[in-house]
């Protein structure tokens, strides 16, 4: 399905299907899979634009067989909102950012960065990991939306989550790798965390917390598994002292921010503020 004209804009319309216990459930489980976050028409409008930008900006051109585990997991393109106004419209959606704020229990969220993750046909597993290993942030009030741009059956490798694992401190020193796959897979089994693996219908999306262990299977389908992600953080969060080299590198997402400061930069705008006066 394709769309050549913008559908009725739903990106600023609040999502009305969150349960009254959504914030508490998210705090307990560390993730949520939401149905019908965006319409198929909206997905059909944005998918070709995002895919075109991924093709244009992708720097990974080696055959799958010549890549390491991380390289086989997906093609990765970040901060596409700075490259394309249509992509920016999706990334800056008040609807999506409002869901993140509600789930995190904060009044406002700002952008950390966006990321397209395309798992090619024949692409390998995404190893078990926790995203916040990479983020030098002062609290765990941050979340990622995982928005597939097509129906995602099990054989395409949908994202899967270890329920409640965000409250488990073990493994937080592991970058995504063969070692994280081995150690965290064992830890999930030892702790009896439920490994929640579900297909995604077109328009579904998940949100997960920064310390939630998650992974994905290989793409056994014949088409790329196309996904857009946006990382949101509490608008009052502060830059923390990096604890590893990857966190030191990730300071580049918050340019000019000093340790202890709120990353109030042009790259980290507030995307939703529930306390702000509505605009006319």
Buried b (16+ CB within 10 A) or exposed e, 28-45: ebbbbbbeebbeebbbbb
pLDDT bin (cut points 50, 70, 90) of residue 63 is confident
pLDDT in tens, 181-228: 999 999 999 999 999 999 999 999 999 999 999 999 999 999 999 999
DSSP designation for 109: E
Residue 70 confidence (pLDDT) above 90: no
CA distance linking residue 9 with residue 42, whole number of Å = 8
Indicate the pTM of the whole model: 0.94
CA distances from 86 to 42, 74, 106 (A): 12, 23, 27
Q: Which of 60-64, 145-149, 187-191, 246-250 has the lowest mean pLDDT?
A: 60-64
Residue 277 confidence (pLDDT) above 90: no
Residue 73 confidence (pLDDT) above 70: no
CA distance linking residue 248 with residue 108, whole number of Å = 25
Domains annotated on the chain, with CATH: 22-255 (2.60.120.620)
As a whole-number percent, the residues of the chain with pLDDT over 90 amount to 88
CA distance linking residue 243 with residue 245, whole number of Å = 7
pLDDT bin (cut points 50, 70, 90) of residue 20 is very high
């Amino acid at each position: 399905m394709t769309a050549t004209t913008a559908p009725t804009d739903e990106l600023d319309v609040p999502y009305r299907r969150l349960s009254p216990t959504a914030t508490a459930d998210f705090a307990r489980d560390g993730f949520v899979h939401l149905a019908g976050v965006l319409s198929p028409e909206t997905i059909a409008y944005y998918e070709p634009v995002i895919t075109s930008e991924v093709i244009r900006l992708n720097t990974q051109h080696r055959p799958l067989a010549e890549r390491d585990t991380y390289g086989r997991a997906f093609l990765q393109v970040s901060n596409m909102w700075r490259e394309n106004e249509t992509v920016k419209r999706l990334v800056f959606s008040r609807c999506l950012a409002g869901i993140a704020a509600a789930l995190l229990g904060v009044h406002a969220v700002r952008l950390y960065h966006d990321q397209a993750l395309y798992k090619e046909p024949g692409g390998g597993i995404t190893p078990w990991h926790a995203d916040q290993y990479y983020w030098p942030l002062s609290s765990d009030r941050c979340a990622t939306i995982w928005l597939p741009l097509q129906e995602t059956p099990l054989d395409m490798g949908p994202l899967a989550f270890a329920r409640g694992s965000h409250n488990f401190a073990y493994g937080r020193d592991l970058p995504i790798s063969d070692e994280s796959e081995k150690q965290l897979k064992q830890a999930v089994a030892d702790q009896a965390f439920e490994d929640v693996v579900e297909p995604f219908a077109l328009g579904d999306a998940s949100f997960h917390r920064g310390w939630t262990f998650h992974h994905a299977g290989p793409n056994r389908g014949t088409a790329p598994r196309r996904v857009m992600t946006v990382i949101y953080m509490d608008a009052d969060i502060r830059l923390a002292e990096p604890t590893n080299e990857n966190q030191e590198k990730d300071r580049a997402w918050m340019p000019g921010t000093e340790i202890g400061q709120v990353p109030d930069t042009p790259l980290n705008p507030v995307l939703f503020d529930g306390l702000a006066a509505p605009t006319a």
